[in-house]
Amino acid sequence: MYPILEAKKLADKIYLMVVKAPRISANCKPGEFVIVKIDEKGERIPLTICDYDREKETITIVFQTVGASTERMSTLQVGDSFRDVVGPLGNPSDFVKEDIEELKKKKYLFVAGGVGTAPVYPQVKWLKEHGIDADVIMGSKTKDLLILEDEMKAVAGNLYVTTDDGSYGHKGMVTEVIKELVNEQGKKYDVCVAIGPMIMMKFVCLLTKELEIPTVVSLNPIMVDGTGMCGACRVTVDGKVKFACVDGPEFDGHAVNFDEAMKRQQMYKTEEGRALLKLREGETHHGGCGNCGND
């Protein structure tokens, strides 16, 4: 059992929990995720590790209620426990493996959209701990939906906040802030990391490709099972079939076929759509959809 030590609501339908998980907290790195189960019959839910404390042996997860399982999860309180927490899974962020002195020569820009702030935070925090300041753009629909602003402000070199409705910070999309920083303020970035809704990552990548800024995206939003068995997170990257949970979750954003991924994500939600995907994808179709016999 994995006891919940802290549980709070960050914004509408967005929750944070601190969970006792000694083995995971001792080994996890930025970019990795866990799979949680509320009870023995509960659904497997993949969630990015938002933060970790090796001394206290805890990890922090942030989630948004989108279905019955996450709705149930939102009712858990301090003193309750998860039946299972498996991880760390996936591959850590590429910069974790780089030489620190070489890394210090690079200028990073992070773009966090909505709940995507949760996986961005541990990356920016890790860089800060290693003496590297990164610029961060946080975007949300309204001020009320912003999360972890104070935490991000403490680790970011510069923090820029934008809301679609202008209720807080800059009014407009995150792409407008990128344009302002690069074109008007003359800032130069070696790497952009964008994490958030698929549509946001797509348009960030279209812009950064035009600006010639190498861009990394995290495809956590399309993961379902988290082990490569269900096939829901299938995505084409540079013309090759990849799975976000086992090959990622981070990929070269300029090589991701976002249109295909988003269309496939919508189709996968229905039985009819899954059957059609099996037909279209033929031998390359992969597991778990309920129509190919590989469940």
Confidence of residue 134 (pLDDT cuts 50, 70, 90): very high
pTM here?
0.85
Buried b (16+ CB within 10 A) or exposed e, 181-193: bbeeeeeebebbb
Where are the domains positioned within the chain? Answer: 2-89, 98-218
Q: Return the structure tokens found at 221.
A: 């939003």
Closest CA to 142 of 17, 13, 51: 13
Following CA atoms 151, 152, 153, 156 in sequence, which dihedral angle do they give, to the nearest 10 degrees? Answer: 140
Would 2-89 and 98-218 be classified into the same CATH topology? no
| Residue 52: per-residue pLDDT | 95
User: Residue 202: phi, psi to the nearest 5?
Assistant: -60, -50
Tens digits of per-residue pLDDT, 70-85?
888 999 999 999 999 9
Domain 2-89 has CATH 1.10.287.130: no
Tens digits of per-residue pLDDT, 185-243?
999 999 999 999 989 999 999 999 999 999 999 987 777 666 666 667 778 899 898 88
Mean local confidence (pLDDT), 166-189: 93
Closest CA to 130 of 29, 23, 252: 29
| Residue 63: per-residue pLDDT | 92
| Residue 290: per-residue pLDDT | 45
Closest CA to 30 of 15, 51, 4: 51
Residue 215 in contact with residue 133, Cβ under 8 Å? no
Residue 117 in contact with residue 125, Cβ under 8 Å? no
CATH topology of domain 98-218: Rossmann fold (3.40.50)
| Residue 105: per-residue pLDDT | 93
